[in-house]
Amino acid sequence: MPLMLAYMSSSGKIYNFGFKRHEFGSESFWQLDLSGIEDREQPLFRSMSALIQYYKSLVIDRGDGKTEIFPVD
């Protein structure tokens, strides 16, 4: 069973995002897969912990008084 991130938008809709693991030489990097909602590549992280900290601090202002962490709705 793949590891997934579950997210509930400000409108109450549930989204599930997968993770991508990239290997460069002997190092592994992690990336969130937003390909279903976002065309641009997401940043790479050296650890899952760093990835989680990044998205916990990210906020998108929708312009209607609501905020999102991911570009949904």
Domain boundaries of the chain, sorted by first residue: 4-68
> Which is nearest to 3 in space by CA: 22, 17, 24?
17
Whole-Å CA distances, 28 to 2, 24, 48:
17, 6, 10
State pTM to two decimals.
Answer: 0.76
Residue by residue, what is the 3-state secondary structure of 3-58? CEEEEECCCCCEEEEEEEEEEECCEEEEEEECCCCCCCCCCCECCHHHHHHHHHHC
> Percentage of the chain with pLDDT > 90?
52
Local confidence band at 68 (pLDDT 50, 70, 90 cut-offs): confident
Q: Is the pLDDT of residue 5 over 80?
A: yes
Q: Is the pLDDT of residue 73 over 80?
A: no
Q: What is the pLDDT of residues 11-46, one digit of tens each?
A: 999 999 999 999 999 999 999 998 888 777 889 999
